[in-house]
Structure formats: structure tokens, C-alpha cells
A = this chain, B = another copy of it.
Amino acid sequence: MAPKVSGFRFSGIAAGIKKNGRPDLALAVADEPAVGAAVFTRNLVRAAPVVIAEQRIRAGAVRAILVNSGNANACTGQPGLDATLATTAALANALKVPVEQVIPASTGVIGALLPAPRIVDHVGPLIAALREDDHEAFAAAICTTDRWPKVAHVELAGGRVNVLGIAKGAGMIHPDMGPPQATLLGFLFTDARIDRGSLERALGSAVDATFNASSVDGDTSTNDTIVALASGKSGNVPEAELTAAFTAVSAALTRSIIADGEGSEHVAELAVTGLPSAELARSVARVIATSLLVKTALQGKDPNWGRILAAAGRAGVRFDPSVARLSIGGVEIVRGGVAVGAEAEQQAARHMRGPSYRIELELGAGAGSASYLMTDLGHGYVDVNASYRS
């Protein structure tokens, strides 16, 4: 199925940025200025495209998104900024749109200057390849270590309105994005008619509930960017309905990214409940989700609940360990802070052989809860990241 989102066209080609010759340059164009909103990484070290995109999105009108993979253009100083200015200017010129309406995004190696001439040379073929139904080419061209492209689609208003999400990411995944603040890249396209404030709120809410509650490796990227564009070519939808659709699409993309976590074999949905507030619950969930000992236990299919409790205990959140309950795959293995028994653990271990399962940790009677998507850590992660750049 190739869902069309009225008002947008997509393309993706190989411009020679990646050494292996795979697609590395992606373009999305709005036929008329679209309403735009974005969130960017909260990392203090921000790539050149993030700096420029953040300035440009403020005006709220967007004609194009230009994305390259294979090079993050981060930590590249003024030459990096100049490179992004040059590539977006070449595209704006060819499209005959204001350069301020071109949003750049980059992903790949940090510290190497973006090869602007290669991108400028490929602007013509990139525009020539634009098609209303070729979001798959866009999705493929933004991938780096991804094993598969990430696309999700939701219909609203009885199929009249569409939300299409495209994302990439497999490592350096520990998003921390805020209004306005992802090498997670995500793009949401909708043909809904919606004002900018509503679009910003819908995006912020969706990102916080999904991308920001997930982690592959605990490293927040210098390039994380999520952009939402609304063409207004179809009908009106209430903000609440758009928020729900953005959240559903973002949740699907997040799950795909976490499942594609570098070297990971399992996705665990971690739920922490029973604390005084959702914020405290998320703090505990984040520490568990990023614990190396928990992640290697998941790799080993070992219901090593002691490591989970120990990680919770160093989160800086007060709770009574003696009331803790923990279940994996619905099998309770800890009750009152101590082990239920060997048989329960064997049952839980069977669930851990599967590709995904739930881990539920109850730490008291409070109403605060939080969910977090996490992965195991295996040899593949070491392989990918000990050799990624060299």
C-alpha cells in the first residue's frame, strides 16, 4: 500500500555521500507552504542542520525538507553551517522557493564536514525524482545503520485525512527532545487543515509519550530532529484527534526503531507503577532501561530481577524495596521485595526468548506510572559501534 498524503511529494537518491553507494539524499516537498512544527535534540552540542532548522521552523511555513544520511555535519564549526546554508540554498533556488522555507536534517558520522558539492550537484536529479507516492524512497535514503526503513500511516476522518510518519534510527538512541528541540530523525506529514499552535502541541505531546520514552543505548544524539508538516489539503480534524493519530504513528515508528536497535534481539515494554508521580516513575524507568547489567541480562534471557531492582535503587527516587512486585511476560517473579521462586523464574525466562515482552515493576501504591521501550545489549552492538567509523 502506498498511502498518499495530499500536497506532498517525495524522493530519495544516491548522491555519493555514503561510501557504499547506497541512497543518502532525501527530499520532501510541499506543493504550497505547509504549516510546520519541530522538536530538536536537547544536547548542548548541536549539529549545523539543527541550528539552522530551528531558526527556520519558527516562521511556521515550510516548502521542503532536505535530508542526507552518511554525514551528521556535527562539530564542524562555521564551515559546517556554511555547507548546510549552501545545500539548502541550491535546493531553494531550483525549487524557486524562499531558502527560509527549506528545513535541513543530517545523520551519520559526527565531526566530518558535509560534502556540500555532492548534494548541490544532485539537486536536479533529486527534484526530478519527486513523486506523490514515493515516500519509500525517502525512507530508504535517510537510513544509516538501520536494518529496515521505518514508515507508519494512520487514517483519520473516515479515511479522508492522513498522517504519514517516516523515521530512522538504530543507535545513539536516547531521545531527549523538547519544544522546540532527535540521530533519531522523524517526519510526520498530514493533509489535515490545522493551525500552527495545534500542530505544535500535537507533535510535542506525541513525541513525549513515544520517542522520548525509549532508549537503545542512552546516548542522546547531536542531530535528533522531528518535523511535522500539515498541508491543509484535506479536511479539518480536532486537535485531540490529530494528537491521537500523531501518537499512534510515533509509537509505531518508535517500536520499529527500538526493534532495530543496533545488535538487539528483544524489545521490552517496561512499565513502572506505584510511585507518587509519573515523573518519578519515568526517572526509575529510564535508569532501568539504560542499565548495562539489565540489558545484558535481557540478552541472556535471564529474569535477573536483582539487577532490575538494583537499577531502580540508584535512580534517586524514594520507594520501599520491601513492597516491590515484578513480573515478566505476566509472570510474577518478585513479591514483597523477594523472589517468588525458581519455577516462576523459569516461566518468565520462556517469555524472554520471544522478540518482545512486558516487564512490570510495581514500587508502591502511588498513582504515578510510566512506560519505556528498551532493548537488550548484545555482541552486535559492540560490532557495529567499535567499527562504525574506522
Contacts and interface: CB of A to CB of B under 8 A. Distances in A.
B296 A381 contact: yes
Given A111-B306, A172-B293, 17 more contacts: A43-B314, A44-B317, A74-B310, A75-B334, A75-B337, A77-B322, A110-B306, A111-B305, A219-B311, A220-B310, A222-B313, A292-B292, A296-B381, A296-B386, A297-B389, A304-B389, A382-B382
Interface of A: 42-46, 72, 74-77, 79, 109-112, 171-172, 176, 217-222, 290-293, 296-297, 299-302, 304-307, 309-315, 317-319, 321-322, 334, 336-339, 349, 377-379, 381-382, 385-390
A314 B110 contact: no
A75 B110 CA distance: 43
A222 B305 CA distance: 13
Nearest to A386: B300
A104 to B, nearest CB: 18
| Top 4 A-B residue pairs of the complex, sorted by shortest distance between their CB atoms | A110-B306, A45-B313, A300-B386, A296-B385
A145 to B, nearest CB: 12
A221 B313 CA distance: 9
26 contacts: A43-B313, A44-B318, A45-B310, A45-B313, A74-B310, A77-B337, A110-B306, A111-B306, A111-B309, A171-B293, A219-B291, A219-B292, A221-B310, A222-B313, A293-B385, A297-B386, A299-B382, A299-B386, A300-B385, A300-B386, A300-B388, A301-B390, A302-B386, A302-B390, A377-B382, A379-B382
Contact of A306 (B74, B79, B306): B74
A26 to B, nearest CB: 22
A103 B257 CA distance: 49
B310 A222 contact: yes
A77 B336 contact: yes
B385 A338 contact: no
B339 A111 contact: yes
Contacts of A311: 219
Nearest to A111: B306
A291 B218 contact: yes
Contacts of A75: 305-306, 309-310, 321, 334, 337-339
Nearest to A339: B111
Contacts of A171: 293
A389 B317 CA distance: 27
